[in-house]
Structure 1
Amino acid sequence: MERVRDVSELPKAHLHLHFTGSMRPATLLELADKHGVRLPETLTEALGRGESPKLRATDERGWFRFQRLYDAARSCLQEPEDIQRLVREAAEEDLRDGSGWLEIQVDPTSYAPRLGGLIPALEIILDAVETTVRDTGIGMRVLVAANRMKHPLDARTLARLAVRYADRGVVGFGLSNDERRGMARDFDRAFAIAREGGLLSAPHGGELTGPLSVRDCLDDLEADRIGHGVRAAEDPRLLKRLADRQVTCEVCPASNVALGVYEKPEDVPLRTLFEAGVPMALGADDPLLFGSRLAAQYEIARDHHGFTDAELAELARQSVRGSAAPEGVKGRLLAGVDDWLTGEGSPER
């Protein structure tokens, strides 16, 4: 009988995980009870059944509904202890899935009103990361993300703040929320500030809109990585450009299906990107709402796209290479990938 290696034991890096979206469902329900927050029934009922809420974000009404659920969950994070718990549990889940390096993405302005302001909010988050790294041993850093729905001047403020805390664990600057709103070029100055401060440029693009949004991220924001980027598969010339420049796409298969970008897991163009030579870092995006974490994304590649263990190992390598991890950490993780591949593996499930 053929033996199949356990993807949860495959060393990897996790480069696309949103802060609130990383929360365990049970934690959300406990924090809502703790703070007297009334969550939408669609969310509590789905989580109570151990399921994910039904979502679709290919139109503005669907995106608004998704954002409403996310905002409701975020409102349950009100105290430093809540932040510490979320960060620790996100790390524990990642370690369980084989991740040795996690870059968690956060817009601190969303938490500032409850945590004493923008600077205290980011410091509380960074303190939680520092404590978690010490307690769990995982490599973990923060990517500060601006919001497309807000004014570009707000993004510049965040970029300056992110650079200020680069020595405390901030490694990159992103741009999230509905990519159909806010042109990438409107945020070019913010990204220039971040790049000049030594941070990675990692905006979202190529999820809800097509290849044009990926090109805009490359041209206007000089992206080192693209959050999602799957719609680049529709443009062979763009694929070649991404491959030639080795721009990593943070691909989140379960998220793409949950939000209606693709109908089925097999429709996500993993093979197209992989065979074009575009580096990928599989990510869970918002497991609280999409119902699957990091290892499950590798299972999708195996079960729905026929990725062999050797190809899964290469995906893991690409995630490590695309990360902001120190060279020593990268070397250790890459060696672990080789060990996973050359070992006997786990019995057929």
Structure 2
Amino acid sequence: MEHEGRDVRQLPKAHLHLHFTGSMRPTTLLDLADKYGVRLPEALTGAEPPKLRATDERGWFRFQRLYDAARSCLREPEDIQRLVREAAEEDIADGSGWLEIQVDPTSYAPRLGGLIPALEIILDAVDSASRETGLGMRVLVAANRMKHPLDARTLARLAVRYADRGVVGFGLSNDERRGMARDFDRAFAIAREGGLLSAPHGGELTGPSSVRDCLDDLDAHRVGHGVRAAEDPRLLRRLAESGVTCEVCPASNVALGVYEKPSDVPLRTLFDAGVPMALGADDPLLFGSRLADQYELVRRHHGFTDAELAELARQSVRGSAAPEEVKEKLLSGVEDWLAA
């Protein structure tokens, strides 16, 4: 095969798994910490991404603590605008033509004047970043499974109310070992009835059963992570047949200790089973790699050919909430990349 090794940054793709604070540039975090006199944990001030392992409770707690420390540096609307614009710029540099950024507005509400103002500030920032950079951008509102399911319902209603302002989906994040998926079934029903995509996290820190719960209890259109489905052949068949996209974040899986090394992430197993995947960066601030790096990882550690990388890019586009004309433009860009 000729030309193996085309530049993955030139490959048009969609980015469906990126958390809001986690998308921050490390240099921006240091700037903002300086601006507000925040003393960051040492793990966030080094040149290297922090050493993380979240497979035990203490490790997850530490990961959350670092995340919260970073979030505490986002205090003013202009900080939010900067974060979103830079996330868009990074994505464009990585070949992304569509970004769905995930946020729990509850976390920003205390500093931004309440839940509704926080969401409006975020949506305005996404709107202007999208206009300024030309990147298609939308928002997934995510509930926190460590909080009460009633909070999730409030968020789902809010998300639906803002569907015409850029909210396309509803998620569920944080430690999947806590809180059963079915506790959040009402919230997800509200979101789905309001026309939003259901995209809960599952199948990263816990096994295939949590992916099954996302399908059975929350009617997931997509699953955040979902990699552990590889351990259950019947579940793989079900995901493939129903066309549920798994938002796979390989660098994050390794950083959190779910898999020991990049070659252990069962990407081939999912791919060969026909499960649609959308590679994502999850939290570049903490994991040290962005979107194109995930494609590079798959090429280097799993031997994916350019044709297979192109298929992964197509799957990311098809799994997105992008309008048809945006999807078509990106998909034809994928063909051009392959033909180059």
Distance in 2 (CA, whole Å) between partners of 1:304 and 1:41 is 31
What residue number does 2:42 align with? 41
Mapped pair 1:199 → 2:196: yes
Q: Normalized against structure 2, the TM-score is what?
A: 0.99
Give the superposition deviation at 1:41: 1.6
Distance in 2 (CA, whole Å) between partners of 1:140 and 1:337 is 19
Deviations 1:302-341 (A, max 9, x none): 0000000000000000000000000000000000000000
Q: Decide which of 97, 122, 125 is 2:122's aligned counterpart.
A: 125
- % identical equivalent positions: 87
Deviations 1:237-296 (A, max 9, x none): 000000000000000000000000000000000000000000000000000000000000
Distance in 1 (CA, whole Å) between partners of 2:135 and 2:50 is 30
Q: Decide which of 169, 173, 179 is 2:170's aligned counterpart.
A: 173
Contact 2:43-2:49 within 8 A present in 1 as well: no
What residue number does 1:59 align with? 56
What residue number does 1:96 align with? 93
Q: Residue 146 of structure 1 aligns to a residue in which SS? A: strand
What residue number does 2:32 align with? 31
Mapped pair 1:8 → 2:9: yes
Mapped pair 1:74 → 2:75: no
Q: Structure 2: which 5+ runs fail to align?
A: none
Distance in 2 (CA, whole Å) between partners of 1:324 and 1:3 is 30
Distance in 2 (CA, whole Å) between partners of 1:210 and 1:265 is 18
What residue number does 1:244 align with? 241
Letter in 2 for 1:337: V
Distance in 2 (CA, whole Å) between partners of 1:77 and 1:323 is 28
Distance in 2 (CA, whole Å) between partners of 1:159 and 1:260 is 31
What residue number does 1:347 align with? none
Instruction: Map 1:1-349; keep pairs closer than 5 Å.
Output: 3-44=4-45, 46=46, 49=47, 51-343=48-340
Give the superposition deviation at 1:3: 4.7
Distance in 2 (CA, whole Å) between partners of 1:38 and 1:113 is 20
Letter in 1 for 2:333: G
Q: Residue 257 of structure 1 aligns to a residue in which SS? A: helix
Q: Structure 1: which 5+ runs fail to align?
A: 344-349
Runs of 4+ in 1 over 4 A off after TM superposition: none
Give the superposition deviation at 1:32: 0.4
Cα distance change on mapping 1:236 and 1:342 into 2, 3 Å: same
Deviations 1:48-98 (A, max 9, x none): x2x100000001000000000000000000000000000000000000000
Distance in 2 (CA, whole Å) between partners of 1:206 and 1:42 is 27
Give the superposition deviation at 1:4: 1.8
Deviations 1:196-233 (A, max 9, x none): 00000000000000000000000000000000000000
Letter in 2 for 1:39: L
Letter in 2 for 1:335: S
Q: Residue 18 of structure 2 aligns to a residue in which SS? A: strand
Distance in 1 (CA, whole Å) between partners of 2:5 and 2:43 is 38
Distance in 2 (CA, whole Å) between partners of 1:332 and 1:112 is 37
Contact 2:4-2:305 within 8 A present in 1 as well: no
CA RMSD of aligned residues (A): 0.7
* Matched length: 339
Give the superposition deviation at 1:42: 2.2
Q: Residue 131 of structure 1 aligns to a residue in which SS? A: helix
Q: Normalized against structure 1, the TM-score is what?
A: 0.96
